[in-house]
Structure 1
Amino acid sequence: MSEKQEELLLKIRSTAEDLTQLQIDYWKEFSTFDDIKFWIVILMLVIPVIVLFLTIDRSKMLLLGFYGLNYHVWFAYTNSAGIRMGLWEYPYEVLPILPSFALDASFVSIAYMLIYQWTLKYRKNLFILSYSFSIFCFRS
């Protein structure tokens, strides 16, 4: 590794550490237990998990789990890229190191898992229904 490359890499690492510390400080200041918006984010994490637990078809749980995991991974990568490029941000977070944990881990992934379960049960077209749901939820 050249000296210039090593110097730039150290600068990137230092800046990333400073950014991480700034995010943790922001989280400590604005994501407190006495803030209603923090509890809304917590509810966005917990309520879909409870709904999934009560409504999942146990005979197809492995299939639905793999579908949800796949959706979660793709959503997390896309979301992480959007955050890094500055396209969007989340002002209220459950954990400072996982800025959109409630949104991608629970809310969106479980919604698509339930849509997939419904399409399996009623033999409907998953792609049309998922596309319609996406347009409905993410329109601007």
Structure 2
Amino acid sequence: MDTSEIVKQMTQVFSNYEQAHSLLIDKWFELIFLTPRWWIGVALGIIPWLIWWKIHNKKYTGDLLRAGLFMTSISLILDSLGVQSGLWIYPYDVFPFIPGYFPWDLTLLPITYYNDGTYRNKAKTESYI
């Protein structure tokens, strides 16, 4: 197979992908955008950060954010691989152009880790007093 044939076939595949993605966006706007489940996803993406900012130990903000960034990176990579491999889907995406479930990967996993560490540290501190 020569180069021009490869380019032609890959261009056709990309064109098919573009059409499918356009259909996905159209259906997302029609069926999901601004529905109660969409609003729940948006709330799950914002409210935990606000709660964490209020209750976290300000002394360890940098350390917590670095650990959370690492956890977020790993979860985004693994979730993207799973979605793109067809192992699972998220029918109620908050944003259809981001693979994976945004509130889970960028909020719920790191915030759960942060709060777990915060409460464990408080429990250890209080047990020694």
- Give the root-mean-square deviation of aligned CA atoms: 2.0
Q: Which runs of at least 4 in structure 1 moved beyond 6 Å after TM superposition?
A: none
TM-score normalised to structure 1 length: 0.76
1:53 is aligned to 53
Please list every run of 5 or more consecutive structure 1 residues that lacks an aligned counterpart in the other structure: 124-140
Unaligned ranges ≥5, structure 2: 125-129
- Number of equivalences: 122
Q: Distance in 2 between matches of 1:53 and 1:106?
A: 12
- Aligned equivalents of 1:31, 1:6: Cα separation in 2: 36
Percent of aligned positions with the same letter in both sequences?
25
Letter in 2 for 1:113: Y
Show CA shifts across 1:58-97 (max 9, x none). 1110110011111101100110111111111111122221
TM-score after normalising by structure 2? 0.82
**Which residue number in structure 2 is paired with residue 8 of structure 1?**
9
CA displacement at 1:121 relative to structure 2: 5.0
Q: Whole-Å Cα distance in 2 between the matches of residues 11 and 20 of structure 1?
A: 14
Query: Is the radius of gyration larger for structure 1 or structure 2?
Result: 2
Query: Which AA in structure 2 matches 1:61?
Result: T
Aligned pairs for 1:7-86 within 5 A? 7-33=8-34, 35-86=35-86
The alpha carbon displacement at 1:38 in A equals 1.3
Matched, 1:106 2:102: no
